[in-house]
Structure 1
Amino acid sequence: MSLSAREVDLFERFRGRLEAIAYRMLGSASDAEDAVQDTFLRWQAADRGYVETPEAWLTKALTNVCLNQLTSARSRRETYVGPWLPEPLLAGDRMLGPAETAEQRESVSIAVLTLMERLSPKERVVYVLREAFGYSHAEIAGMVELSESNCQQVYHRARQHVATGRARREVDAADAEKIAAEFLAAALSGRTEPLIRMLTGDAAGLTDGGGEVPARSVPMVGAVEIARFLRGGLKPTPAKRAIAGGDYTLHAAVVNGGPAVVGVLGDRVIGVISLELTADGISALHIQANPGKLNRLSRQRTTAGER
């Protein structure tokens, strides 16, 4: 069934919100784009004359697409090489969605997106719709075919799985970039002491290479181990330039609302270190090096540079 210009415009009006929902549900910008495109095809095929509330209809359709993707992704993750981490996005990307409340900002952090991997597909969908977008349990129940009381139980169970027992520290963009710059200076100092002072004693580090680039297959544990790894791992050397394919630079940045270090080679991002903050210091490093999860971020930097 062909779409009128008005119906196309209607969908485009909601595209940004749909992308933001899908990104939180899937942890992948490219998968989120695919999910929104599938939702558009469902919108095109629907008998739209019977759709009373387009936003509700589109959100439900997107939710069903994401549930299907999450279910199939679980089997794919079993064969994934090394740790799986979400796809990072630079500040300003519309896919990060609304950031008016602490819950909305936290729900898109790399730390929480990583923790959401613990959830079942239905738990993840319910958590995102309730925590980040404020849908009522009655509305969510209608989208995921649960009773309202069951929906409440799923949500509370999901919150328990995502909670870590240690409150994350929230900072604004200026402070986040400042912390990232201090961390980068400490990492490039050639000494472990400045890094150890910034890390919590039980800090953990995960690296996602996706089997595409060399990466640690097991987590780093403890400030000393992480500091030693970074001292030798970040400083540019001829050998590292040869592996990377040329001269690369490191920059402080804000990624998914938090401090990060971004590695750049030419117009391509080759790595992102996202820092998780608590009141006691940096408690986790999420190192994304899988090239397939850095394409959108590379495009973001290129577009920003052209302005």
Structure 2
Amino acid sequence: MQSNLNSDSNQHKYTPEPSSLDVAALYQQYKNYAFSIAYRMLGSVTEAEDIVHDCFAGLHGMTNGHIHQPKSYIGKLIVNRCLNLLNSARNQREHYVGEWLPEPLGVHELVNTPEEAIQQKEMISYAYLVMLERLSPMERAVFVLREAFEHDYSEIAGWLGKTESNCRQIYSRARRNLSQQLPALEQASADWKTKEEVLGRFTTAFLRHDVSAMLELLTDQPVFTADGGGVVRTVMRTMRVHKGVLAILTSPRVLLSLREREWKPAFINGEPQLALMKDGRVSEVICLEMDASRERINGVYLIVNPHKLATIRPLD
């Protein structure tokens, strides 16, 4: 009899219903992780923020029974949404007026807490973001997840619907595509003082139209790219090699417009860079890619498109 009672008791044992996800708590915990993936994938602050917002909004109404590993689930959602957008954005960029550069990410003030210090230390440099534009969307996804976030190939494969072997091949191909530029960027770890000194020398040389000083600052194979997006007139084509870049930087046409600005330092993508001010607002941003070992400049990126300057604030 006791056995039957126990059997009946087990059959009618209460099983609690899965509880709803605490989306607000998940957002606070994983929003920086989600944004970091999206921004590296897209090169756009605005689009990355939209992707993150849509991702967490889609979690409302779901229960704990749906998601066993929230971080992995959110990462997968973000990556695949970014891939869908990138595949469509590639077509849009074919019709972009002039050269397309990533949207710089500004920080309004320097670090105040240990958490902020970690976040800024892990921020992707602007030059690194430019480099990622050379990869296909799938190469970019695998490379970012493996290189920046150190996810296992098995997890990456599950997120992207590919085999581990295939993901390893994609990662190797991506590194080969970046083989010339990647080592220099990985070693470009000059301290702030050095970077600020180079920024100061560049500013002085540019504003004084000092060709000799500019000549000393540039490496042998520098790059100059400007992005006006068809909204603001600027140099339309990327200039390469020493002679071409120097000609642009000492051109009266370029100098006349930029020399009239108020040049201020700004903290952009984790590094000191330059914000140019006109009538109290940021009108242009100059991001330098530096050769840390020789304290010289590999690349000059001029962002003029006002739609890409929303997060930039000069430092006081």
> Of residues 269, 276, 282 in structure 2, which corresponds to 1:269?
282
Letter in 1 for 2:304: A
Q: What RMSD in Å do the two structures reach over aligned CA positions?
A: 2.8
> Of residues 165, 180, 194 in structure 1, which corresponds to 2:199?
180
Cα deviation code 1:170-221 (max 9, x no counterpart): 2233322222111111111222110010001321101111111001111223
Q: Given that residues 16 and 95 in structure 1 are in contact (C-alpha distance below 8 angstroms), is that contact kept between their aligned partners in structure 2?
A: no
Residue 220 of structure 2 is aligned to residue 204 of structure 1? no
Residue 48 of structure 2 is aligned to residue 35 of structure 1? no
Quick one: percent identity of the two aligned structures? 34
- In 1, the alpha carbon distance for the partners of 2:149 and 2:117 equals 12
Q: Given that residues 179 and 259 in structure 1 are in contact (C-alpha distance below 8 angstroms), is that contact kept between their aligned partners in structure 2?
A: no
Q: Which runs of 5+ in 2 are unaligned?
A: 1-18
1:216-227 equivalences in 2 (<5 Å): 216-227=235-246
1:75-224 equivalences in 2 (<5 Å): 75-91=91-107, 98=119, 108-165=124-181, 167-168=184-185, 169-224=188-243
Q: Which runs of 5+ in 1 are unaligned?
A: none
> Of residues 240, 245, 249 in structure 1, which corresponds to 2:262?
249
SS of the aligned residue for 2:193 comes to helix
Structure 1 position 68, deviation (Å): 0.8
SS of the aligned residue for 2:290 comes to strand
Residue 287 of structure 2 is aligned to residue 287 of structure 1? no
Q: Given that residues 112 and 162 in structure 1 are in contact (C-alpha distance below 8 angstroms), is that contact kept between their aligned partners in structure 2?
A: no
- In 2, the alpha carbon distance for the partners of 1:41 and 1:109 equals 29
SS of the aligned residue for 1:43 comes to coil
- In 2, the alpha carbon distance for the partners of 1:13 and 1:159 equals 31
Where is the helix percentage greater, Structure 1 or Structure 2? 1
- In 2, the alpha carbon distance for the partners of 1:160 and 1:38 equals 34
Structure 1 position 255, deviation (Å): 2.4
- In 2, the alpha carbon distance for the partners of 1:273 and 1:98 equals 23
Q: 1:96 to 1:117 in 2, by over 3 A?
A: farther
TM-score (normalizing by structure 2):
0.81
TM-score (normalizing by structure 1):
0.84
Question: How many positions carry a matched residue from both structures?
Answer: 287
Specify the structure having the higher radius of gyration (Cα).
2
